[in-house]
Amino acid sequence: MRIETLSTFPAMFDSIMGSSIMRRAQEKGIVDFTAYDLRNWTHDRHRTTDDDPYGGGQGLVMKCEPIFEAYDEIAASGGEKPYTILLSPTGEPFSEALATELSERDRLLFVCGHYEGVDERVYTLADKTISIGDYVLTSGELASMVVIDAVVRKIEGVLGDEAGAIDESFYDGLLEYPQYTRPASFRGMEVPAVLLSGNHAAVERWRREQSLERTSRLRPDLLATANLDESDRAFLGSLSGGVETGRF
Binding-site members are 113, 132-137
Among residues 66, 105, 112, the alpha carbon closest in space to that of 88 is found at 112
DSSP string covering 91-146: EEEP-HHHHHHHHT-SEEEEE--BTT-B-GGGGGG-SEEEE--SS--SBHHHHHHH
CB-based contact 88:135 (threshold 8 Å): no
User: Environment class of residue 55 by beta-carbon count within 10 Å: exposed (0-12), middle (13-18) or buried (19+)?
Assistant: exposed
The set of residues, in sequence order, having a beta carbon less than 8 Å from that of 216 and lying 6+ positions away, is: 223, 236, 239
DSSP letter, residue 177: P
Residue ranges at the known binding site for S-adenosyl-L-methionine: 113, 132-137
